[in-house]
Chain A
Amino acid sequence: MSEQGTYKPYAYYELMETSLRELLVEKGIITNEQVNAEVAAMRARTPERGARVVARAWVDAAYKKRLLANGTAACEELGLEIPGLHLVVVENTPQVHNAIVCTLCSCYPRVLLGIPPDWYKSRNYRSRMVREPRAVLAEFGLRIPEAVQIRVHDSTADMRYLVLPMRPQGTEGWSEERLASIVTRDCMIGVAVPAVALG
């Protein structure tokens, strides 16, 4: 029996990417090894990096103050490499809930959260998050009381945003590492809040 592959023609952007990459390699501008290394580095960045920052801010009030004043410097303090990132950290409080969107494209703090989820890049999320944030958050299972102000941050230019969620009750005495384990990607985008499993 001869081997049967399933032939699938390239989609438009796949074809564009492959053509451009092959040309750049052919002309000696980049190498395949460099491309592979960059892809590997991109995949290695995960939301755990952002969670470390949040957990530190929860246990160290002075660090939190520095983080809110200058997000970039505060990340570097933790030894996180964040080349070119201008980070604005926005803090959730009992009065304010923050959420991040990029209506123009899909700007996202990749060096802290990794590759963005598909829904973040969807037309649905991008157009509705600024227009009806409360309805969108409810679809994520997050109901924000009317007494709490919602601040939507449209990431349109050079800044990138990270939500500093509130530390949940029931985490008293937890280590920084354990605290970081409940800080999910969605909490740092602002479409979820950290939860503590009961019992």
Chain B
Amino acid sequence: MSAQFTTDYPAVAPRYKPGDRVRVRKTAPLGHIRTPYYIRGQVGEIERLCGAFPNPEELAQMRDGLPAQPLYRVRFKQKDVWPDYRGPETDVVEIEIYQHWLEKA
């Protein structure tokens, strides 16, 4: 997978592949965070690797955000995210999440 994306900046190697089950870290650090609060702690499935991008939390502090973090699209079942979700079991929400916010589920 990693060979698919080449960046002209140093990047962390991807740890996950499509289909892997991952949990979003349930933590609440201060600062500019691109992981929505509602998805923290949820378990989903890697849909695809999008590439590696400078870490926005670092960029917001005027640092270079390197090494770049792999960015994934992760698919979650709506019924898992919202226990009272009104709609079929099959409905999903897909979100971009950086690797340092993910752990193996």
Contact of B34 (CB < 8 Å), options: A86, A149, A157: A157
Instruction: Tell me the B41-57 residues at the A interface (CB within 8 Å).
Output: 50-51, 53, 56
Contact of B87 (CB < 8 Å), options: A88, A150, A158, A159: A150
- Within 8 Å of chain B (Cβ to Cβ): is A30? no
Contact of B86 (CB < 8 Å), options: A86, A134, A155: A134
- Within 8 Å of chain A (Cβ to Cβ): is B16? no
B-side interface residues, number (CB < 8 Å): 27
Tell me the nearest residue of chain B to A105, going by C-beta. B34
Say yes or no: B92 contacts A88, CB within 8 Å: no
- Within 8 Å of chain A (Cβ to Cβ): is B82? yes
A132 to B97, CA, bound (A): 21
Instruction: Tell me the A31-59 residues at the B interface (CB within 8 Å).
Output: none
How many A-B contacts are there with CB distance less than 8 Å? 75
A154 to B75, CA, bound (A): 10
User: Which residues does chain B contribute within 8 Å of A157, judged by CB atoms?
Assistant: 34, 50, 53, 56, 71, 96-98
User: Which residues does chain B contribute within 8 Å of A150, judged by CB atoms?
Assistant: 78, 87, 91-92
Interface size class of chain A, counting residues whose CB lies under 8 Å from the partner chain: 20 to 34
- Within 8 Å of chain B (Cβ to Cβ): is A135? yes
- Residue numbers of B with Cβ under 8 A of A are 34-36, 38-39, 50-51, 53, 56, 71, 73, 78, 81-82, 85-88, 90-98
Knowing that A103-B38, A149-B91, A154-B93 touch, tell me 14 more A-B residue pairs with CB under 8 angstroms.
A86-B50, A86-B51, A132-B86, A146-B88, A150-B91, A152-B91, A153-B94, A153-B95, A156-B35, A156-B36, A157-B56, A157-B98, A158-B51, A159-B73
- Residue numbers of A with Cβ under 8 A of B are 86, 88, 103-104, 130-135, 146-147, 149-159
A–B complex contacts, Cβ < 8 Å, 10 sampled: A86-B50, A133-B87, A146-B87, A149-B90, A150-B87, A151-B92, A156-B97, A157-B98, A158-B96, A159-B50
